[in-house]
Amino acid sequence: QIWSDFRCYPWCNPGGLKLSGLGPSCSPECFQYRGTMDVFSKIARQEGIFRLWRGTAASLALAVPTVGIYLPSYDLLRNWIEEYSDHSYPKLRPYAPLIAGSIARSLACITCSPIELARTRMQAFKQSSGGAKPPGMWKTMLGVLSSRQSISHPENLQTTRGYHLLWTGMGAQLARDVPFSAICWMVLEPTRRHLLGLLAGEQSNAAVIMGANFSAGFIAGVISSGATCPLDVAKTRRQIEKDPARVLSMNTRRILLEVWRNEGINGLFRGAGPRMARAGPSVGIVVSSYEVVKHIMHRKHAEL
């Protein structure tokens, strides 16, 4: 009951230590989250309501190139695999979405990994007692390069490893996003075909296409995000790790085993609810918008 008199003040000190000049002390509970609403409440109370939107600029900067690479690449690869399977290997056709989705997502992840790293760091930033403003996307990326120190050969960091650090956690990101994409498209394609058949038959318009694709994307996003939640936990923990020695030695398997030993199954699926709540509408909006634009462009082209 020693912490009963302490409150979670903004920019307070962890551990309940009353350090001179560093603001009020807080209970350790102020730095532990017990669910989605607890996270919302503590961030809003300690850092302000607008901190819930931290990393939005990086998210927008990530979304444009990711979607621009991912969806057209998926379309091209899927069409090519389906044409190849029709002529040479019919048994391959059902797996065209899985293969095309995996390859397209890999290309997008490798290209946009530095922005994903910056977004994760920005969202994990914890304000200090001095009330320092969270760094922006570019400053976060520069900080990744300047703050890492090689333990054995620090003088060689910039020449030998510097820019590689911008791809910290890319392996964990690929381990999360490639299975996510494979599961997502394997669920989305048959669901979309079924819904389009029910809603429109042989004819379809923009409204039908949007509704069918949003519904299929929503279902696929929820299922795939829930199935790959442990991989998302591993990716996030790798990217927010501050210890240089651990960063160089961590991998997805090791992180998952560590979480399993220390936190059990709950640790592996921590954040599954918010992740599924975000992924469903996100996939639905992106896929339906993309397909409606394609439909409008094809119709305009046919009218010429």
Average pLDDT over residues 74-101: 94
Greater pLDDT, 142 or 284: 284
Each residue's pLDDT tens digit, 38-56: 666 766 676 667 666 666 6
pLDDT in tens, 132-152: 566 666 566 666 556 554 434
* pLDDT surpassing 70 at residue 187: yes
Residue in 129, 130, 148 with CA at minimum distance from that of residue 140: 148
What six digits make up the tokens of 232?
A: 């998302």
The pLDDT, as a whole number, for residue 246 is 73
Lowest mean pLDDT across 15-19, 43-47, 65-69, 268-272: 15-19
Residue type, 268: L
Average model confidence (pLDDT) for the chain? Answer: 77
Q: What is the DSSP letter of 160?
A: I
The residue type of 1 is Q
CA 79 – CA 180 distance, rounded (Å) = 20
In this predicted structure, the answer to whether residue 2 has a pLDDT above a threshold of 50 is no
Residue 4: the pLDDT is 40
| Per-residue model confidence (pLDDT) at position 76 | 96
Give 206-215 pLDDT, tens digit per residue.
889 999 999 9
pLDDT the model gives residue 54: 64
Q: What percent of the chain has pLDDT over 70?
A: 62
Predicted local distance difference test score (pLDDT) of residue 236: 83
pLDDT of residue 19: 45
For the purposes of burial, counting CB atoms within 10 Å of the CB of 107, is it exposed (0-12), middle (13-18) or buried (19 or more)? middle
Per the confidence metrics, is the pTM higher than 0.75? no
Taking alpha carbons only, the member of 10, 33, 32 closest to residue 22 is: 10
Domain extent listing, the chain: 1-54, 55-146+160-168, 176-303
